Amino acid sequence: MNPEFYLKGLQRRADFTIQQIEILPQPKFNKECTFKTLSPIHVKTQRYHDRRLKEHDLYPNEPKFYENLHKNLIERYTQYHNKPPEKDHFEITKTSNIKPKRIKIS
């Protein structure tokens, strides 16, 4: 009905027009599945800096990255299903040649 929407940023707003909407087929899950992300995964933690807690980005070359990612996925599952998963074991393929990059959209 209203194909326009906008994202409000810190300094200005970005307007968009929806051109197409699709209903995707329901995925079929097997006992074992592999998932790939469409965009980078952003994982962070809090660390003390100058006696104050500050957010700190984590990268795949840090073990804490995988620990926090695992905890986050379990928390999201639990919130969505109102119960923890029966099995919470999953493997995250470690990546190499990481080139950290942060882009500020304003």
Residue 76 DSSP SS3? helix
Q: pLDDT by residue (tens digit) across 25-75?
A: 998 888 888 887 787 788 999 988 888 999 988 988 888 988 999 999 999
pTM (two decimals): 0.60
Q: What are the extents of the domains in the chain?
A: 42-86
pLDDT of 90 over the 80 cut:
no
* CA end-to-end distance (rounded Å), the chain: 28
* Buried/exposed code over 58-82 (b: 16+ C-beta within 10 A; e: otherwise): bebeeeebeeebeeeeeeeeeeeee
Q: pLDDT by residue (tens digit) across 9-30?
A: 657 777 888 888 899 999 888 8
